[in-house]
Structure 1
């Protein structure tokens, strides 16, 4: 991976977006936004990374202990959540991405964590309908580095409906993170499903904020609304942005016209989106931005493996 740095502060990394069907490689910006906290300081405060647990088949599972989850909630104070994006500026917002000013999207929020380098950071994630009422969808690179099984993120907390420093529905600690094994071993299939604890009042996630519908094996096409907490100014991750466009196939993945940047990783692609109700169907998540054409946002085409990832998270 290529990395640009300023002093001890982390900035977004660059990874190749691999095209397995054709053997082509295309440079793309990874959206797991690194933080404003120096890596060494963050490492001193955060709990140790959990060991990956063995799992047969096409999925890989990370589990966080009860103590690690308590520490994560204590670590991500309101002040830390607000501070993490202050020193990161990835340029002006738009013109394709625009602040979302419609009905409150309670299901979409910021996913805060300490990355494998020890820096505070965030992605975007979405509460979805699930058997356990506790499942959240995001990108795999928001959970662990691709092709690097030992490099996993820690202190993960989902804050639905986050807006300008406020967490109106509370924070939910992540107790399990599921990714395709292909991501862990070969940086392929960039999606993840998380299972979160109940909130402070003992209520499960979707009992509090509801859940978006999810679809797999859906044909690519149609109008997509993509959402994310991009680190572009003036929002700097504090406000939800939206892109709208028609999904098209390309090299085994799909893309929409969008220029959101770091921090929007894992944000939902909502088909059949109803702006009045804030409801739609999640068919993919923000994965990467083509650095040569930074108005093309890519997302995986979800098939059988993505469904198995989701099923593993929703049944725990």
Structure 2
């Protein structure tokens, strides 16, 4: 994500926010690359908005996505190819315009330098995986609306192995997420007080939906820039770190300070299929 206010995700660069009339000021949640390339949290039934450290067997499916401009989060999801990850579109492509505050720069694709699954401090226990191509909705490139802030990555193989074969996957689901659904958000926040070196977690006993903010899912969460693209998981098992990716972190709603995510709407299925071919 990029840096944002109130500790939510927008890059560490301050640009003038472009907001549509009657729309809350939105900031994207991608962060600046941490200095280096590159722990366990108790499950709190009532929700945990602190961005606590998290580690579990399946948490290696979540990793840091690095570009020449920012640091974000991406997640390996089940696919036939074994080489697909999901993130936020603003992490890999700057739109011509957007109601979200994004780091300055020319519109177009960003240079993705690698995906580091399961990053743990200064260690990259599963290496860095190349991104062969990126699939985004053309409407994101033109409008930059949060509704389309989803991207799928086709990852290359390393030593003849797929990323799925090395770190496993999270399940994925496409469709609306009802208000009140318990969800867990994971990410690599890189702006203070975090440093982008460890996986963090927030939990909500029931997400809300903001019609004024493009119908985004929202929860209280202290994660900062760098968390963009991170998974929002339903049916999450804290002991194993497994769940179903139903949305990805997109922005911080500055009208209420809530972390906001884009649900994987049915139209995103086409992007997934394209990345899986």
TM tier relative to shorter chain: 0.7 to 0.9
Q: Give CA deviations for 1:99-148 in whole Å, capped at 9, x if unaligned.
A: 11444611000001113xxxxx3100000001111000000000111226
Q: Distance in 2 between matches of 1:217 and 1:235?
A: 32
Q: Which runs of 4+ in 1 moved over 6 A?
A: none
1:68 alignment counterpart: none
- After superposition, the Cα gap between the structure-2 partners of 1:16 and 1:300, relative to the gap in structure 1 and judged at 3 Å, is farther
1:124 aligns with 2:124: no
* Cα 1:134–1:291 shift into 2, 3 Å: same
Indicate the residue corresponding to 1:137 in structure 2.
86
* Contact 1:228 1:240 survives alignment (8 Å): yes
Instruction: Kindly indicate whether the alpha-carbon contact (under 8 Å) linking 2:83 and 2:157 is maintained by their aligned counterparts in 1.
Output: yes
Q: Is the 8 A contact 2:119 2:197 kept in 1?
A: yes
Task: Please give the TM-score of this superposition, normalised by the length of structure 2.
Answer: 0.81
User: 2:68 corresponds to which residue?
Assistant: 114
Alpha carbons of 1:152 and 1:124: their partners in 2 closer, same or farther (altered >3 Å)?
same
Q: Residue 217 of structure 2 corresponds to which residue in structure 1?
A: 254
Q: How does 1:1-12 map to 2 (within 5 A)?
A: 11-12=12-13
Give the equivalent residue in structure 2 for 1:211.
Answer: 169
CA contact (8 A) 1:231 1:237 kept: yes
- Bigger relative CO (Cα 8 Å, ≥ 6 apart): 2
Is 2:199 aligned against 1:240? yes
C-alpha contact 2:19 2:26 (8 A) present in aligned 1: no
Contact 2:188 2:200 in 1 (8 A): yes
CA deviation digits over 1:155-208, x for unaligned, max 9? 331110001011111111101101111110101211100001001x21011011
Match of 1:196 among 132, 155, 175: 155
Aligned mates of 1:30, 1:165 — CA distance in 2: 26
2:141 aligned with 1:178, yes or no? Answer: no
User: For 2:237 and 2:186, how far apart are their aligned partners in 1?
Assistant: 14
> Which residue pairs with 2:100 in the alignment?
none
Unpaired runs of 5+ in structure 1?
5-9, 37-80, 85-93, 116-120
**Which entry has the higher C-alpha Rg, 1 or 2?**
1
Report the Cα offset of residue 272 of structure 1.
Answer: 0.3
Q: Aligned partners of 2:227, 2:13: CA distance in 1, in Å?
A: 12
Question: Shift in Å at residue 276 of structure 1?
Answer: 1.5
- TM-score with structure 1 length normalisation? 0.71
Count, aligned residues: 247
**Aligned-pair RMSD on alpha carbons?**
2.7
Q: Deviations over 1:65-111 (max 9, x none)?
A: xxxxxxxxxxxxxxxx6168xxxxxxxxx963211144461100000
CA contact (8 A) 2:248 2:263 kept: no
In structure 2, C-alpha distance between the alignment counterparts of 1:292 and 1:222, rounded to whole Å: 22
- What is the CA deviation profile of residues 184-243 of structure 1, one whole-angstrom value per residue up to 9, with x for unaligned ones? 0101211100001001x2101101111111101143241110011112445400111100
